[in-house]
Amino acid sequence: MTEADLWAAWRFWMIVAGAVVVIAAALLITIWLTARGILAHAVRALHAAEKIRQNTLPIWELQTTNEVATELLATVESIEAKGGKLAEALQSHAGAGGKS
C-alpha cells in the first residue's frame, strides 16, 4: 500500500467519521427539539387540566349540597308533622271550648 493509498484511505474514513458525527448531531438536535415540543404540549395540557379541575370543583360539592338538602327536607317534614298535630289539637280544643 503506497503513501497515496494510505492518505486516500485516511481521507475516506475521515469523511465517513465526519458523516457519522453530522448524522448523530442531527439526530440529537431533532430529539432535543422534539423533547422541547413535547414539554410545551405537556405544560399546556397541565394548565388545561388544572382549569378543568377548578371548573369541576362545584360538581364535587353537589354531594354535600344533596346531603344538606336531605337533612333540610327531613327537618321540614318533621316540622310539618308536628305543626299538623298542633293544629289538630288546637282545633279539637277550640271545638270542645266552643260547644261548652
Q: What is the residue-wise DSSP string for 66-97?
A: HHHHHHHHHHHHHHHHHHHHHHHHHHHHHHHH
Reported confidence tier of residue 98, pLDDT bands at 50, 70, 90: low
Asked if residue 100 has pLDDT above 50, the reply is: no
Q: What would the grid cell of residue 79 be?
A: 316540622
Name the pTM for this structure.
0.53
DSSP assignment string, 19-38: HHHHHHHHHHHHHHHHHHHH
User: Which comes out higher in pLDDT, residue 45 or 58?
Assistant: 45
Mean pLDDT on 66-95? 91
pLDDT beyond 70 at 35? yes
Q: What is the mean pLDDT of the chain?
A: 92
Type of residue found at 29: I
- Distance of alpha carbon 9 from the chain centroid: 61
